[in-house]
Chains A and B, each alone.
Chain A
Amino acid sequence: MLNIVVCVKAVPDPKEACNIKIDPATKTLLRCDVPMVVNPLDKNAIEVALQLKEKTDVLITVLSMGPPEAGNVVKECLALGADRGILLSDPAFGGADTFATAFTLAKGIEKIGPYDVILCGMASSDGSTEWVGPQIATFLNLPVVTMVKEIIESDMPWWKVKASIDNGYRLMQVKLPAVFTVTREVNTPRILSFSGIIKARQKEIEPWGIDDLGVSHESVGLKGSPTIVSELSTKESKREVEFIKGTREEKAELLVHKLIGTGLL
């Protein structure tokens, strides 16, 4: 049996993320009810696990850290076919940077029990950070390959993967247990099925708090985070827009003229 842990993050829907703004007066985020969804690249990570489960004996545990609302995202992963869903949720975990997040997830993975493969999306769509996967690996003293775009061999105890690098790829052989972060190219995530949703109704999300992990308050959340936000500022634009108006034809014609005027065409 192959034990796979997939780490997922609940993020504001990237399609609506532009509606999140900074309040210039209070310098806090105005979320404007943007719904939380599974981080897009984490869906590729789940898909890797689901495809393996179709071929061999695999137990998939989905692990997330976030506020109680993130439970919906874990539920969605259960509906996709994960066997077990765990949500690390505790006020003490709040305000964590990537270091404290990776530390907390690593403690969660240790508690889950035996693990062979840990999968993460290569980056989160909201913070554009890519640190959690490699830092989980470091805290668990495991090898890691980031930006995996193809899994070539998935036999125990060695996996062979292709990972993106600048202008090319590297072919890596890695001994399990190991951590992999995946890119979009690795697969096409399946769509949620109705029968999956029905089956997931019987699966319970396991909520774990700080006492379940046996870690100190100083090591998690804001207190366990080396980095802090010192300032949130709005950015002034140096440009002033001229709207080009008219019918579609006229607008296109006028724009071409504007561009000719700049000497760029």
Chain B
Amino acid sequence: MAKLKNNVGPVWVIAEQIDCRLLSVSTQLIGQARKLADELNTSVVAVFLGDNIEKQAHQLIAAGADRVYLGNAPDLAFYHPETYTEIIVNLAGEHRPEIILIGSTAMGRELAPIVAARLKTGLTAHCIDLVIDEDRNLEQRIPAYGGLLSIICPKRRPQMATVAKGVFPTPEPDETRSGEIIELRVPGTVSDRIKTLEIVRQEPKGVPLESADIVVAGGAGVGDLEGWNKIADLAGTLNAAIGSTRPAVDEGWTELSAMIGQSGKMVSPQLYIGVGLSGEQQHLVGVVDAKVMVAINNDDKSPVFEQVDYGIVDDCREFVPVLIQKIKAYQEKKVIC
């Protein structure tokens, strides 16, 4: 028999904005929070900090929130670790949420562990699914070693998790939903030991991974920077976005922003080509609903071949240039026809 808990606290989402734009991961989390809250028979609450963001607060209600705690002040326009922490920790102490969900964004990845440590509770990184188990605990699923780990935080509350953009679908906005917006009293400067001097946004280079139809991803098996450049050529030939595993980032062949997977980006291309990678779950969970998946790896026993539609067993450094030639030949023919 499931153990019933009375007066379950609300499910919280720490919503995030950049230049007043509500991030899609925040609405996606509201959508999932709605499902969890309905199962627990409790409410969905968003905590939303920024400046000039009343309109966006209504978007959170349309996405499924029952209540929005709105911190609206010039000091909150940009994320500040200590000011944001102070507001969230104080609110959580007062309202005792059952669950707090935060996007795996640059802000979320810094703020979530600070808030969790302050609230003396657990935090699971970059979950790929969240469900309520038979004991009414939040089961937080993460990929690991070719399988899945389910993590729970049975004895402490709130239960906290971060989730990347694209893990949960964006809910259809319902403008007729009603909810309350409660304006927070914003504290003055909490501390002067950490100051944000400047925030610089840079346009990403190349085809953006998240919206690409074709993704070419490289891993440690690419060997070196020269090998990596061959993969980049393949991506260029296919007008594809280039992605990577963590080892390829650690080797310095590409930027962190190219990393696909649990702690990187989620992609859902039509075609995915994995080159010189072993098919670790931490990477492949980031490839969602691809129509066709191809792997190129010199080890026919590599676990990557268990997870793709077409397999090529070959040295990727030798094979990729030949593949590029063949694709180019086809592309030229296509133009003439």
Contacts and interface: CB of A to CB of B under 8 A. Distances in A.
B125 A99 contact: no
A22 B151 CA distance: 16
B64 to A, nearest CB: 24
B252 A228 contact: no
A248 B319 CA distance: 6
Nearest to B137: A230
A239 B309 contact: yes
Interface stretch (B37-45, B65-73, B190-198): B190-198
B249 interface: yes
A15 B199 contact: no
Interface in A102-145: 102, 123, 125, 127-131, 134-135, 137-139, 143-145
B122 interface: yes
Contact of A128 (B137, B148, B246, B326): B246
Contacts of A172: 194-197
Q: Which 7 A-B pairs have the closest CB atoms?
A: A226-B122, A18-B278, A227-B122, A138-B117, A131-B113, A40-B250, A231-B150
Interface stretch (A53-61, A209-217, A254-262): A254-262
B194 A175 contact: yes
Contact of A171 (B105, B145, B198, B220): B198
A234 B147 contact: yes
A13 to B, nearest CB: 10
A97 interface: yes
B225 interface: no
A259 B263 contact: no
A231 B310 contact: no
A237 B284 CA distance: 11
B124 A171 contact: no
Contact of B151 (A21, A135, A230): A230
A235 B147 contact: yes
B312 interface: yes
A256 B246 contact: no
Interface of B: 18, 78, 81-82, 105-107, 109-110, 112-114, 116-118, 120-126, 133, 137, 139, 143-156, 191-204, 213-214, 220, 238, 246-247, 249-250, 252, 255-257, 261-263, 270-271, 278-282, 291-295, 300, 302-303, 305-314, 318-319, 322-323, 325-327, 330-331
Interface stretch (A63-71, A74-82, A160-168): A160-168
22 contacts: A15-B247, A99-B117, A125-B246, A129-B125, A138-B114, A138-B117, A143-B193, A143-B194, A165-B199, A169-B200, A171-B196, A171-B199, A178-B194, A227-B123, A239-B307, A241-B308, A243-B300, A243-B313, A244-B311, A248-B319, A260-B330, A264-B271
Interface string A18-31: 10111000000100
Contacts of B318: 248
A127 B117 CA distance: 18
B193 A135 contact: no
A160 B151 CA distance: 37
Contact of B197 (A171, A178, A185): A171
Nearest to B278: A18
Q: Is the interface of B mostly helix, strand, loop or mixed?
A: mixed
Given A172-B194, A241-B310, A264-B213, A134 B147 contact: no
A134 B108 CA distance: 12
A186 to B, nearest CB: 11
B178 to A, nearest CB: 32
Contacts of A192: none
Q: Is the interface of A mostly helix, strand, loop or mixed?
A: mixed
B290 to A, nearest CB: 10
Contact of A183 (B120, B145, B256): B256
A29 B145 contact: yes
A229 to B, nearest CB: 6
Contacts of B319: 248, 251-252
Contacts of B322: 248-249, 252
Nearest to A239: B309
Contacts of B143: 235
Contact of A241 (B145, B255, B305, B330): B305
Interface of A: 14-15, 17-18, 20-22, 29, 40-41, 97-99, 102, 123, 125, 127-131, 134-135, 137-139, 143-147, 160, 164-175, 178, 183-185, 188, 225-235, 237, 239-244, 248-249, 251-253, 255-256, 258-260, 262, 264-265
Contacts of A168: 199-202
Contact of A227 (B152, B292, B323): B152
A232 B199 contact: no
Given A173-B197, A244-B312, A139 B117 contact: yes
Q: Which of B144, B153, B155 has the most CB of A within 10 A?
A: B144
A139 B112 CA distance: 14
Nearest to B111: A134
Contacts of A170: 78, 196, 198-200
Given A169-B202, A183-B256, A248-B314, 15 more contacts: A22-B147, A29-B145, A41-B250, A97-B122, A123-B263, A164-B106, A175-B193, A185-B256, A226-B153, A226-B156, A234-B148, A239-B307, A241-B295, A243-B312, A264-B291
Contacts of B255: 185
B139 A226 contact: no
B113 A134 contact: yes
B113 A130 contact: yes
A135 B125 CA distance: 13
